């Protein structure tokens, strides 16, 4: 199995640093076929967020230490436990103690994939710190064990995550698309940046266990992924935007079918969605997507950037193919 690749425990540099962008899923995955290996039930497609992400430094410490955005995380905190448990899976218990310092310029736990950029940047920093020199194709398997979305954050631009069907994940792979779309724009409209009341992991488990329409979602999402890739290659923004918005709303509809219903949207989210629909009727081609949270991500082209800024003046606009990685 690919995850049995032996890795050295001996650092080759005093400190290593890495940056990885956050990403948003254009075609979502929601739910996993294997919790231990973190294997998703369906494939997904994402776009990276340019300069928005996480920078990490890794060095040796007298004990395992985690600092997030300047704040030391104690060993009993879930973030500390989850991170070093993941590192132990990769390296084993004989590894040296690590001092990990991360800084993210995006909110944590608010549905903008902060964990994806965090795990991927930590992994890339460890790759340099220990001198593994592993390619992203192999790193993606290790990143997946921390956060499935982290496997996508190893790359820039459009990224296709192929879920595969093998029980041990051997056919799982992540492939960046070669297409660049300089006119493509994203804007993040923050409605509520507080941590979610139900984590994505808990929400996925509830959905797969109780939503009667879940299997239909998996089949729909798998097909959507293929169709979106075709639209990207044709640079057919109208088709892509419509599919992205429907995919997002289908996922939230599937969650609302849970027992009890899982609702991440807030009244302000629905108001923004209505505003976006009204804008399209006026000739402004803008589409929405939402991950597991209330915040809206807007998709549009350069030609409509001024109009979108007027509609959502507080939104952060990103040109993913023009931003430095």
Domains of the chain, start order: 2-176 (3.30.230.10), 184-318 (3.30.70.890)
Task: Count the helices and strands in the chain (H runs, E runs).
Answer: 8, 13
The Cα–Cα gap between 8 and 10 comes to 6
**Token pair of 75 as six digits:** 């060993």
In this prediction the pTM is 0.92
**In 3-state terms, what secondary structure has residue 260?**
coil
* Nearest residue to 176 (alpha-carbon basis) of 11, 48, 50: 48
* Nearest residue to 147 (alpha-carbon basis) of 285, 280, 54, 26: 54
Give 105-136 pLDDT, tens digit per residue. 875 544 455 788 999 999 999 999 999 999 98
Q: What is the structure's pLDDT at 297? A: 94
Of residues 96 and 194, the one with the higher pLDDT is: 96
Q: What is the structure's pLDDT at 5? A: 61
* Nearest residue to 161 (alpha-carbon basis) of 1, 23, 4: 23
Range from 89-93, 107-111, 202-206 that averages highest in pLDDT: 202-206
**SS3 per residue for 164-233:** CCCCCCCCCEEEECCCCCCCEEEEEECCCCCCCCCCHHHHHHHHHHHCCCHHHHHHHHHHHHHHHHHHHH
Does residue 19 surpass a pLDDT of 70? yes
Give mean pLDDT, residues 183-209.
91
The Cα–Cα gap between 319 and 180 comes to 11
Does residue 97 surpass a pLDDT of 70? yes
Give mean pLDDT, residues 193-219.
92
Long-range Cβ contact pairs of 38-41 (< 8 A, separation 24 or more): 38/144, 38/145, 38/146, 38/147, 38/148, 39/144, 39/148, 39/163, 39/164, 39/169, 39/172, 40/148, 40/161, 40/163, 41/163, 41/208, 41/218
pLDDT averaged over the chain? 92
């Amino acid at each position: 199995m690919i995850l049995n690749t032996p890795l050295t425990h001996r650092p080759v540099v005093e400190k290593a640093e890495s940056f990885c962008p956050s990403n948003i899923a254009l075609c979502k995955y929601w739910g996993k076929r294997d919790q231990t290996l973190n294997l998703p039930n369906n494939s997904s497609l994402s776009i990276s967020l340019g300069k928005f992400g996480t920078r990490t430094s890794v060095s040796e410490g007298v004990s395992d230490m985690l600092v997030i955005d300047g704040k030391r995380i104690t060993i009993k905190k879930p973030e500390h436990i989850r991170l070093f448990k993941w590192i132990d899976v990769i390296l084993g218990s004989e590894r040296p103690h690590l001092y990990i310092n991360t800084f993210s310029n995006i909110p944590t736990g608010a549905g903008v994939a902060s964990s994806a950029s965090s795990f991927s940047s930590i992994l890339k920093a460890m790759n340099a710190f220990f001198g593994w020199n592993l390619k992203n194709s192999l790193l993606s398997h290790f990143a997946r064990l921390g956060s499935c979305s982290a496997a996508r954050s190893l790359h820039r631009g459009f990224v296709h995550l192929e879920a595969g069907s093998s029980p041990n994940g051997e056919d799982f792979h992540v492939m960046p698309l070669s297409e660049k779309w300089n006119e493509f724009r994203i804007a993040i409209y923050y409605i509520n940046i507080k941590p979610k009341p139900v984590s994505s992991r808990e929400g996925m488990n509830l959905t797969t266990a109780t939503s009667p329409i879940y299997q239909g979602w998996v089949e729909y999402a798998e097909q959507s992924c293929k169709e979106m890739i075709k639209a990207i290659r044709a640079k057919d923004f109208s088709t892509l935007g419509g599919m992205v918005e429907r995919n997002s709303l289908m996922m939230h509809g599937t969650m609302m079918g849970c027992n009890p219903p899982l609702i991440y949207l807030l009244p302000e989210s629905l108001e923004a969605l209505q505003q976006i629909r009204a804008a399209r009727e006026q000739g402004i081609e803008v589409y929405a997507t939402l991950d597991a949270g209330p915040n809206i991500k807007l998709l549009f082209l350069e030609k409509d950037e001024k109009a979108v800024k007027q509609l959502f003046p507080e939104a952060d606009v990103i040109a993913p193919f023009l931003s430095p990685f």
